[in-house]
Amino acid sequence: MGRKPRSASEHLLLRRGLVFGGAATLTGISAAEQVLEFVYPRTHERPTDSYAFKMLNAALAALGRQYTLRLSAMQLSSMRALLALETGGVNVMDTGASPKVAEGGLILPFPLDLGLSGYRVMLVHRDRLDRLRSLHSTEDLRKLSFGQGPDWVDTSILRAAGLKVQEAEFLSLFRMLEVGRFDAFPLGVDEASHLLKLFGHLAPSAVLLEDWCIHYRFARVFAVQMHQPVLAEALTAGLSAIFSDGSARSILSRDAHIGPLIEGQRRLPPKIFELDNRLWTAPFQAIPDRLFFRPR
C-alpha cells in the first residue's frame, strides 16, 4: 500500500535517522540499512509519557538502526486503534492480551507491565465494605456481581470463570457503583488508586478494598500489524535487549504506579483469589513465565 508524502506539520518523533518516505522499499538497500517506520496510535488512555511508549522508544534505540516513530494523525479510542492496526492506520500499539488482538496483529512475547494488570483490586461502596472483607473462597466470588466495560477482555475472563458481570461504559461504572448496581469494580492494581482519584467524584462513597484481590494470567503487550513481519522482528530484538539488560525494569521502576509495586514499597492485598484465563491463547502462552511479576 502506498504512503502519502509526509508534510512538515506531521508530529514526528525521530530517533537515529531522517524520515524518508518509502525508504523500506528502495532497492539496493540491505535490510539492516532500511529505515524502520513505526506509527503508534494517539490515544487519551495511553499518552506518550506512559511506560509503554518509553519502552517502545528504548527498544528501538537498542537496535542501533535508523527508525522513525510518529503518532497517528487522529485521536483514537482503544477500539479504533485496534481497527487501525488491522487496516494500516497504525502499525504498532500496546494493548491488553486478548484473542481479538491476536487475530488482528502479531503479538510480541513480552509482558510490558510484568503482568501486573492481571492483579485486579476492587473499588467497592463503603457500605458494603465489611461484608466484602469476609470472603474466603472463589466460590464466594460467584455470589457477587462485578462491573466491567463492554469491550474489556476482563469481562469475558470473569464470565468464563463463572462470575456475574454487569457491563457499562467506563464513567458509568463509577455512577453504578455509587448507587449499588453491583458489588465491586475490579481494576488493575497498577491503575485503581489513580483512577479513583481522577473519577472518585462520580462515586464519592467508593473505597479501595485492601483485603483481597483477583488474579489471572494477563499482561499488556505490543502488537504489530499483521503484514509487517520485518517491524515485528526488529521490535522483538529490541525488547529482548531491554528486558535482558534491565532497561525495561528501570522504566517500570520510575513509573509512579508500577514502581512502588515491583520495588516492594507497596504490597498486594494479603489474599489473592486465582482464576483461570481461558482466553490466554497460544500467542500469549509464548511469553516466558520468568518475565512475570511474582509477589514477595
Domains in the chain, start-ordered, CATH in brackets? 12-115+219-265 (3.40.190.10), 116-215 (3.40.190.10)
Provide the pLDDT for residue 139: 95
Mean pLDDT, rounded, of the chain: 89
Residue 246 pLDDT level (bands cut at 50, 70, 90): very high
Find all residues with CB under 8 Å of 145, minimum gap 6, and list them: 164, 165, 166, 181, 182, 183, 184
pTM of the complete model = 0.83
Query: How far is it, in rounded angstroms, from Cα 90 to Cα 76?
Result: 10
* pLDDT greater than 60 at residue 35: yes
Q: How far is CA 288 from CA 92, 108, 217, 228, 233, in A?
A: 21, 11, 12, 23, 17
Query: pLDDT tens digit string along 133-190?
Result: 999 999 999 999 999 998 789 999 999 999 999 999 899 999 999 999 999 999 999 9
Q: Which three cell numbers stand for residue 153?
A: 477482555
Q: What is the mean pLDDT of residues 219-229?
A: 97
Cβ atoms of 94 and 56 within 8 Å: the answer is yes
Q: Which residues on adjacent β-strands are paired with residue 12?
A: 70
